[in-house]
Structures are given as C-alpha cells and as structure tokens.
Amino acid sequence: MILWLADDSLEFPPLEQALVEPDGLLAAGGDLSEARLLHAYRNGIFPWYNPGEPILWWSPDPRCVLFPNELYLSRSLRKRLRKQDYRVTFDQAFAKVVAACAAPRRGQEGTWISDDIFGAYLNLHHQGHAHSVEVWIGDELVGGLYGLAIGRVFFGESMFSRQRDASKIAFAWLAHQLQYWGYELIDCQVYNDHLASLGATEIPRQDFTRRLEQLRDTPVCHAWSFAISRDDITGARHE
C-alpha cells in the first residue's frame, strides 16, 4: 500500500516505505505547488505519472547519479564538441526546451510531461529554481535539457535531441559548468544507457539521501551564464 498525501501537509512517508515493485513508488496525490515540489526534491523524491493518472511520487533504489568531476566523454563526442557549428545557452528558451522534451518520440505513444507538469516547472523556472540548457545550430533549437538546482545538487528532469549528440552536448556543457561552480552531484533519477555513456552510475538510495542532506543547504552564488569554453569541456576524462 502507498500513502495518499494530504492536501494540507507537505510531508511524505519515510523513503524506506517505497515499493520495491514498481521500484521506488512512494506516495500518490497532493499537488504540484512550488512548496511541495521543492520539499520533495530536497528529500530525494520526484513526481512521475502519466496524464490522467493521480500524481505519483518516487524515490527509486538504487539511484542513478553523475558526479560532475567524473563526466565521461568518448573520442567521438569530444570531436563533436570541438566543432564550431553549434552554440550553447543557459535559460534562454526554458519553455521551448520543456515543450521539446514533451513532444512524442520514436516508439512512444505519449508523454509524461502533461500541461500540469509543464506549468509547474515553468513556475519553478520563473522563481529561479529550474533551469534549462539549449543547443542551437543557427537559430534552430536542436537539443537541450532542464532540471532543478538546489544547494550543490542539480536534479535533471528530461532532455531531447533533434540532431545527433545534441542532448549529450547539452549535458557535457552543463556538467562541466556545474563542476566549475562547485556542484557535487547531478541526480539522473533512473539509469539508462544514454546517461551511462556520459559517466552516470547507480548508488544506493541511502547513500544518495546522505549526500543530499549534506549538499542541499549549501547554495552556490552565481548567475546562470557560462564561464567555460569548448577547450575546458574537451579536457574532461576520456578514452
């Protein structure tokens, strides 16, 4: 059984009560208010549900993460990063990035990014909590990602690519910039081969929450604009 959240409380059940199958399902209900979302992320919980379903809250075990100083770039990706045919920006097209992440993908019939999710994260962006990375070729948005920054942790939500390696370019620029700013952890939520190819790994949920408790209350003072170059990025660990 999972707990149905009360409308008048932000509290979640202990993470140890999350189901094993489906992995990490912790609670249902509640809302997508700024206060509830921030409280959830600060405690290692995130929403993920299909349109028409109740809001479902998750904390999987193990947790997929990437340590910014362990970003891995293959030879082919390093070569792609050196090219001058693209440019990368921060927070210049947040709504467009979320819309692109929500667009149907090959082999998928729908998307989990509903209008409610879209509106909730757009509000978090306006409040300075959520951020986007955009990859452009000319004036065309060809890739990007978005997520939340809390303390020295970046919580990745979704990414998209309309050109080969565009989402990896976005992630590489983000990871290196986060390392420069002093971030120590990128939450990738659930393992997949795409993230693993960049250096993501799985750690026990208990280890993740311990690290989160250490990092969530130490804000990093900076403006979300790049302070790195292509040469900085392509110096990351590689084959």
What confidence score (pLDDT) does residue 238 get?
Answer: 61
List for the chain the helix, strand, coil content (%; round to 5).
35, 25, 40
Please, which pLDDT band fits residue 110 given cuts at 50, 70 and 90?
Answer: low
pTM recorded for the entire structure: 0.94
CA 164 to each of CA 110, 135, 152: distance values in angstroms, whole numbers, following the listed order? 22, 12, 30
Which amino acid, 22?
A: P
Which amino acid, 87?
A: R
What confidence score (pLDDT) does residue 108 get?
Answer: 57
DSSP class of residue 179? H
- Is residue 151 within 8 A of residue 219, CB to CB? The reply is yes
- Is residue 176 within 8 A of residue 238, CB to CB? The reply is no
Mean of the pLDDT values across residues 85-107?
Answer: 90
Please, which pLDDT band fits residue 51 given cuts at 50, 70 and 90?
Answer: confident
With a cut of 80, say whether residue 180 has pLDDT above it.
yes
What confidence score (pLDDT) does residue 120 get?
Answer: 97
The strands making up 25-29's β-sheet, listed across from edge to edge, are 3-5, 25-29, 56-58, 46-47
CA 111 to each of CA 2, 100, 144: distance values in angstroms, whole numbers, following the listed order? 24, 11, 17
Structural domains of the chain ordered from first start: 3-60 (3.30.70.3550), 64-233 (3.40.630.70)
Q: Quick one: how many helices (H) and strands (E) in the chain?
A: 8, 11
SS3 of residue 233 by DSSP: helix
Please, which pLDDT band fits residue 235 given cuts at 50, 70 and 90?
Answer: confident
What confidence score (pLDDT) does residue 112 get?
Answer: 81
Q: List, for residues 68-94, the tens digit of each pLDDT value.
A: 999 999 999 999 999 989 999 999 999
What confidence score (pLDDT) does residue 239 get?
Answer: 57
